[in-house]
């Protein structure tokens, strides 16, 4: 059923500008509509606060704060806010319209995502939040519903309605702001909302993308909150066996219950995410996740091989005990007697001689012999020497030996290069049961590293140098610069030469080259406008649909980059062709007084010129240049002649 039929705002125009066409979504605080900006002739999303909340100053303040906060970001992965205003009981935000769906829609339809798809969503989300954190505030309500995925594949973060300054602490007595499944423990316990609560929520979202389920569930919100406080988020491979360890580490780091153990902001988590992706093979990135978790658990149980092998090893001994002489009644049956010396019978026990004893002795010898051979040659394996090997090399050698990796710890070291194994448990040459797992300790390099000077270097080369040094390439921003070639690094934050801890995110500013002033081409023929822009080094595209405008048909009605704005060489300017002015019916104003006639025509979208006879005492319109009932171009001039004597 189309719920928009019951919505009183659908079909209305707010502020004389925004025509509401359909309802997109409704929440506890506001409703979002698809609307048309009749002034600029573009589709946008209109977020309208529920009128019942408009009297609450706190809600209105939060609503307006969202507009101001997002307006400060101007980030390609954040849903842009164009305008904010009030029309009667309605307070609204005019926002960018993203045609597509939410991450929640994708998870509901597809379940768990491939690792590559999950990272493709997570990275732009972290870039958007990193920009917010650098601007000094946190989102506080990250969840799949607030991740929009456009039809063109672009990922954008929406709904900064709970945004708050990084340094703000809110009381949680009586209520907690946010969504229970994604709240960090410190949000629940004491209301602290710094950048690390967004990091925690992103870790939960990543877990959900990789497994198809939330890590903490419960029959009531209180049960979910309790689990956030008292239980760690499990590694996703516990739910989906076979997921790479690098993804487990990413989720575990982001969702540590102690905030100090998490990456300090989204930019730092983005650096770790890019590093994790670089350590995954194409096969691991494109692994198809199972869609039925019950099947996953069943297949994991089917692969258990320890029990059959252990039972097989014990079996000969159990056969021997069945054939051995039963103990005599009395004290000897209550406690085992000491073993006799070789070749001698146990004192006080009568030993039967004959065929049964011979069979028992043979089976005993064969059974014990078989068990010892099994333990000595098949059940234990030597751990290879892994010191100094890269993590990938160590995993490969362990796999070749039939062993796995239990977990990877990372520690600082001045003796081992970053990314190489500095210890293993068990150590090299030690014995471990077959199919066992080894704990690897991988070097993070020196505890303090020097930021390399990458100014003037191409972006990809600069990123590679930062990664090699042990730092994480962070958010990349662009700026005009006439001295640094386009695509090369202008500066970094922190600057080259400064000392930082390994894995610190380094923000990079890249040159867009010399700025190109964009000329105004509205009203010019399309071919002429295209040539003028291309001569400046800009790319030109034409919008598929034409629009009405005051300019003649076939000329430029609108340009995506306004006249006087600065662009970079190679940037694209989209030109929209004009269909000419809209034809509007002309009202008949003959016989009306001049002022009334003027108001009537102007309300219909026309300009008005009044001509009066030399001797005029009536002020009544006698003639209009375009007769009433005929069509004329919107915005054109209608001449009125006032009747004389």
CATH 3.30.200.20 fits 3-95, yes or no: yes
In this predicted structure, the answer to whether residue 145 has a pLDDT above a threshold of 60 is: yes
Q: What is the pLDDT of residue 382?
A: 85
The residue behind tokens 């988020």 is: 233
Alpha-carbon distance of 564 to 568, in angstroms, equals: 13
In sequence order, which residues have a C-beta less than 8 Å from that of residue 77 and are 6 or more positions away?
124, 125, 127, 128, 131, 154, 155, 156, 157
Mean pLDDT across the stretch 324-343?
35
- CB burial of 404-438 (b: ≥16 within 10 Å; e: otherwise) equals ebeebebebbeebebbbbbbbeeeeeeebeeebeb
Residue 322 β-bridge partners: none
Q: What is the pLDDT of residue 61?
A: 77
Q: What is the pLDDT of residue 342?
A: 36
Alpha-carbon distance of 157 to 424, in angstroms, equals: 42
Q: Can you name the CATH fold of 516-577?
A: Trypsin Inhibitor V; Chain A (3.30.10)
Q: What is the pLDDT of residue 296?
A: 38
- Sequence spans of domains, the chain: 3-95, 100-289, 380-443, 449-508, 516-577, 583-642
Q: Per-residue confidence at 616, pLDDT binned at 50, 70, 90?
A: low
At 370, is the secondary structure helix, strand, or coil?
Answer: helix
Cα-based angle 202, 30, 101 (whole degrees, multiple of 5): 50
- 329 vs 53 pLDDT, higher one: 53
- Top CATH class, 449-508: alpha beta
Q: 616 near 639, Cβ under 8 Å? A: no
Mean pLDDT across the stretch 17-46?
89
Peptide bond before residue 276 is cis, with ω within 30 degrees of 0? no
Intrachain domains 100-289 and 583-642 with the same fold? no
In sequence order, which residues have a C-beta less than 8 Å from that of residue 639 and are 6 or more positions away?
609, 610, 611, 624, 625
Q: Per-residue confidence at 178, pLDDT binned at 50, 70, 90?
A: low
Alpha-carbon distance of 380 to 476, in angstroms, equals: 51
Alpha-carbon distance of 190 to 43, in angstroms, equals: 42
- 562 vs 445 pLDDT, higher one: 562
Distance of CA 519 to the CA centre of its chain: 37
CATH 3.30.565.10 fits 100-289, yes or no: no
Burial (0-12, 13-18, 19+ Cβ within 10 Å), 544: exposed
Q: What is the pLDDT of residue 89?
A: 86
Q: Which residues are catalytic?
A: 141
Mean pLDDT across the stretch 364-378?
34
Alpha-carbon distance of 284 to 277, in angstroms, equals: 10
Alpha-carbon distance of 283 to 243, in angstroms, equals: 11
In this predicted structure, the answer to whether residue 409 has a pLDDT above a threshold of 70 is: yes
Alpha-carbon distance of 361 to 368, in angstroms, equals: 11
- 598 vs 325 pLDDT, higher one: 598
In this predicted structure, the answer to whether residue 570 has a pLDDT above a threshold of 60 is: yes
- 60 vs 319 pLDDT, higher one: 60
In this predicted structure, the answer to whether residue 441 has a pLDDT above a threshold of 80 is: yes
Which tens digit of pLDDT belongs to each residue from 109-126?
889 999 999 999 999 999
Mean pLDDT across the stretch 245-268?
93
Q: What is the pLDDT of residue 135?
A: 79
Q: Per-residue confidence at 362, pLDDT binned at 50, 70, 90?
A: very low
Q: What is the pLDDT of residue 438?
A: 92
In this predicted structure, the answer to whether residue 378 has a pLDDT above a threshold of 80 is: no
In sequence order, which residues have a C-beta less than 8 Å from that of residue 188 and are 6 or more positions away?
172, 176, 225, 228, 229
Mean pLDDT computed over every residue of the chain: 80
Q: 438 near 403, Cβ under 8 Å? A: yes
- CB burial of 441-467 (b: ≥16 within 10 Å; e: otherwise) equals bbbbbbeebebbebeebebeebbebbb
In this predicted structure, the answer to whether residue 440 has a pLDDT above a threshold of 50 is: yes
In this predicted structure, the answer to whether residue 557 has a pLDDT above a threshold of 80 is: yes
At 245, is the secondary structure helix, strand, or coil?
Answer: helix
Q: What is the pLDDT of residue 645?
A: 60
Task: Give percent of the chain with pLDDT exceeding 70.
Answer: 81
Rg (CA), the chain: 37
Q: Can you name the CATH fold of 583-642?
A: Trypsin Inhibitor V; Chain A (3.30.10)
Task: Give percent of the chain with pLDDT exceeding 90.
Answer: 46
Alpha-carbon distance of 253 to 329, in angstroms, equals: 63
Q: Among 139-143, 293-297, 483-487, whose mean pLDDT is lowest? A: 293-297
Q: Per-residue confidence at 598, pLDDT binned at 50, 70, 90?
A: very high
- 426 vs 447 pLDDT, higher one: 426
In this predicted structure, the answer to whether residue 369 has a pLDDT above a threshold of 70 is: no
Alpha-carbon distance of 31 to 560, in angstroms, equals: 29
- 535 vs 327 pLDDT, higher one: 535
From the options 3.30.10.20, 3.40.50.12160, 3.30.450.40, 3.40.50.300, give the CATH code of 380-443.
Answer: 3.30.10.20
Mean pLDDT across the stretch 479-503?
90
In this predicted structure, the answer to whether residue 327 has a pLDDT above a threshold of 70 is: no
């Amino acid at each position: 059923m189309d719920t928009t039929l019951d919505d009183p705002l659908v079909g209305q125009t707010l502020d004389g500008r925004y025509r509401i066409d359909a309802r997109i979504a409704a929440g506890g605080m506001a409703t979002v509509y698809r609307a048309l900006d009749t002034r600029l002739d573009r589709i946008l999303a209109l977020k309208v606060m529920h009128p019942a909340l408009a009297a609450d100053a706190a809600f209105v303040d939060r609503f307006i704060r969202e507009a101001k906060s997002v307006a400060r970001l101007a980030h390609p992965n954040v849903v842009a806010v164009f305008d904010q205003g009030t029309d009667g009981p309605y307070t609204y935000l005019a926002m960018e319209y993203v045609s597509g769906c939410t991450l929640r829609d994708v998870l509901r339809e597809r379940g768990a995502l491939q690792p590559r798809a999950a990272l493709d969503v997570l990275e732009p989300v972290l870039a958007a939040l990193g920009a917010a954190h650098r601007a000094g505030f946190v989102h506080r309500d990250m969840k799949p519903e607030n991740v929009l995925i456009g039809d063109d594949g672009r990922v954008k973060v929406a709904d900064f309605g709970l945004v708050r300054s990084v340094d703000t602490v809110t009381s949680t007595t009586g209520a907690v702001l946010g969504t229970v499944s994604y709240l960090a423990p410190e949000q629940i316990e004491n209301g602290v909302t710094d950048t690390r609560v967004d990091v925690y929520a992103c870790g939960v979202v990543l877990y959900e993308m990789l497994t198809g389920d939330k890590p903490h569930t419960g029959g009531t919100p209180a049960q979910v909150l309790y689990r956030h406080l008292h239980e760690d988020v499990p590694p996703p491979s516990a739910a989906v066996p076979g997921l790479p360890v690098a993804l487990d580490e990413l989720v575990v780091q982001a969702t540590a219950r102690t905030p100090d153990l998490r990456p300090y902001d989204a930019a730092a988590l983005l650096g770790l995410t890019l590093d994790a992706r670089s350590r995954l093979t194409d096969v691991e990135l494109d692994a198809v996740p199972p869609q039925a978790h019950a099947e996953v658990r069943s297949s994991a149980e089917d692969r258990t091989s320890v029990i059959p092998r252990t039972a097989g090893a014990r079996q000969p001994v159990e056969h021997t005990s069945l054939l051995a002489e039963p103990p005599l009644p009395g004290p000897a049956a209550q406690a085992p007697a000491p073993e006799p010396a070789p070749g001698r019978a146990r004192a006080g026990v009568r030993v039967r001689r004959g065929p049964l004893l011979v069979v028992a002795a043979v089976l005993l010898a064969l059974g014990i012999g078989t068990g010892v051979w099994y333990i000595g040659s098949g059940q234990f394996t030597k751990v290879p020497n892994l010191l100094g090997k890269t993590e990938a090399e160590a995993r490969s050698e362990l796999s070749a030996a039939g062993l796995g990796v239990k977990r990877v710890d990372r520690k600082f070291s001045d003796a081992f290069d970053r990314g190489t194994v500095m210890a293993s448990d068990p150590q090299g040459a030690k014995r471990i049961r077959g199919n066992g797992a080894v704990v690897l300790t991988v070097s993070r390099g020196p505890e303090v590293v020097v930021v390399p000077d990458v100014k003037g270097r191409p972006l990809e080369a600069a990123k590679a140098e930062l990664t090699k040094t042990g730092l994480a390439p962070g958010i990349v921003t662009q700026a005009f610069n006439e001295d640094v070639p386009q695509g090369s690094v202008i500066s970094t934050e922190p600057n080259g030469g400064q000392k930082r801890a390994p894995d610190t995110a380094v923000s990079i500013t890249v040159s867009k080259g010399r700025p190109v002033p964009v000329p105004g081409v509205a009203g010019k023929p399309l071919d002429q406008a295209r040539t003028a822009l291309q001569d400046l080094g800009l790319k030109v595209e034409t919008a598929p649909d034409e629009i009405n405008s005051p300019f003649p048909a076939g000329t430029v009605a609108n340009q995506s980059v306004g006249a006087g704005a600065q662009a970079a060489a190679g940037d694209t300017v989209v030109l929209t062709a004009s269909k000419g002015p809209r034809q509007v019916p002309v009202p008949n104003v003959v016989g009306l007084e001049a002022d009334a006639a003027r108001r009537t025509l102007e309300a219909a979208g026309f300009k008005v010129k009044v001509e009066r006879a030399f001797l005029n005492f009536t002020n009544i319109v006698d003639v209009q240049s375009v007769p009433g009932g005929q069509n004329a171009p919107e915005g054109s001039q209608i001449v009125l002649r006032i009747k004389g004597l």
